[in-house]
């Protein structure tokens, strides 16, 4: 099989890259290990930065986002049993929109299918070769178990942290990483949100986050030990702990409802440099992971492929300059997001190994951030999304 670009992974990065390339007249195919329905339904991030919303809208992919997304002009930092609002729009003129990552994936799959852009689901045994040449190859087995080989001009590794793309060039990468001594227990509950905006809570019992996916579905998180087990967390215990951590002086009541899904996610920061080796280009979680506190993961992936689409379009015309600059261009944004995510994580979570001095520093940072317009503006402009390069 011959195509110009082989895209590995049908998450938001791979699907958006494929869409951008096809719209530019470049042949490509998306290869995905999971089946179509799993990809459409898997629950991931839910906060879209304003640059992400503007990009999807400009591409004609924002109809459902505009109709069903929930714009937020602020968020709350909750500590000392009080609520402190960061007025995102007042401070920056921008906002964020709550719209589930799986909804963006659905929109992209539907756009591919409507235009006849190919996606191959349920593939296996993927192997990359000849990425140091101008004719890299991708071997795999299709959904029927048949061996296939694609010869192409470039490969885009958009297959996530556990995919095959990054390990295939691991000897050529420098890795920076940090693991945190806590994890998130995330739950999806069928109940209207208890607050009209996101709530980030610093509490002596641990961090908590109140978010939402729709007007009827709430997304909530609790800081837990990374070695904890879901069996230890009954629904009653989850609601009791959320109530304790989100409680403030004043009129606030946490709405409870049936828990539809729950899972424990470890937290790490990770960057593999460079994002390019030969004709293999890494994007999104294949190249970098951020702790979810800053709501940057999906938005970084979208920023990567926006740059990558232009670089590949130029490369296939014979201009190497944008491809050569791809890694450095993306890494400037990646490291800014890594810092902001680390800042939010360390300011809000309770470190079990921290002493009293460190905990007083956290409170000092929170009090300064919510009382200084300059500090609040810095948080706000990072949260709503810095302009694309």
Which residues form the catalytic set?
72, 200, 292, 296, 383
| DSSP helix/strand/coil, 355 | coil
H helix intervals, the chain: 12-23, 36-41, 50-58, 63-68, 88-92, 101-115, 235-246, 297-316, 321-348, 356-371, 373-384
CA distance 90 to 92: 6
How do 5-8 and 124-129 pair as beta strands? unpaired
Q: Which long-range contacts (CB under 8 A, 24 or more apart) does 221-224 make?
A: 221/184, 221/185, 221/186, 221/187, 222/184, 222/185, 223/182, 223/183, 223/184, 223/185, 223/349, 223/350, 224/182, 224/183, 224/184, 224/185, 224/264
Cβ atoms 157, 274 nearer than 8 A: no
Helix count and strand count (H, E) for the chain: 11, 20
Please identify which residue in the block is written with the tokens 């839910």: 46
């Amino acid at each position: 099989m011959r195509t110009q670009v082989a895209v590995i992974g049908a998450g938001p990065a791979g699907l958006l890259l494929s869409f951008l390339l096809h719209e530019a007249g470049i042949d490509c195919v998306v290869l995905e290990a999971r089946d179509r329905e799993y990809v459409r339904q898997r629950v991931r991030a839910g906060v879209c930065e304003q640059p992400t919303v503007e990009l999807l809208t400009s591409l004609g992919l924002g109809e459902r986002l505009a109709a069903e997304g929930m714009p937020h002009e602020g968020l709350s930092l909750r500590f000392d049993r009080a609520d402190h609002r960061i007025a995102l729009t007042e401070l920056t003129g921008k906002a964020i929109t709550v719209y589930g990552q799986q909804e963006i994936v659905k929109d992209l799959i539907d756009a591919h299918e409507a235009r006849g852009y190919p996606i191959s689901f349920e593939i296996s045994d993927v192997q990359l070769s000849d990425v140091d040449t101008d004719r890299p190859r991708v071997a795999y087995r299709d959904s029927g178990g048949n061996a296939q080989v694609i010869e192409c001009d470039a490969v885009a590794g958009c297959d996530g942290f556990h995919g095959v793309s990054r390990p295939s060039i691991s000897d050529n990468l420098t890795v920076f990483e940090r693991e945190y001594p806590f994890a998130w227990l995330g739950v999806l509950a069928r109940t209207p949100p208890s607050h009209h905006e996101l709530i980030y809570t610093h509490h002596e019992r641990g961090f908590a986050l109140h978010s939402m996916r729709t007007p009827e579905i709430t997304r909530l998180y609790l800081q837990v030990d990374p070695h904890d087990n879901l069996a230890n967390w009954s629904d009653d215990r989850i609601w009791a702990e959320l109530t304790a951590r989100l409680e403030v002086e004043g009129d606030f009541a946490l709405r409870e409802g049936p828990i539809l899904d729950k899972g424990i996610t470890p937290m790490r920061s990770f960057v593999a440099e460079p994002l390019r080796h030969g004709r293999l280009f890494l994007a999104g979680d294949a190249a970098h992971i951020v702790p979810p506190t800053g709501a940057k993961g999906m938005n970084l992936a979208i920023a990567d492929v926006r740059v990558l689409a232009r670089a590949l379009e130029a490369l296939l015309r014979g201009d190497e300059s944008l491809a050569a600059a791809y890694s450095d261009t993306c890494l400037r944004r990646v490291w800014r997001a890594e810092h902001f995510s680390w800042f939010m994580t360390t300011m809000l979570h309770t470190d079990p190994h921290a002493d009293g001095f460190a905990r007083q520093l956290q409170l000092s940072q929170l009090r300064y951030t919510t009382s200084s317009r300059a500090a609040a503006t810095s948080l706000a402009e990072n949260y709503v999304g810095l302009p694309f390069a």
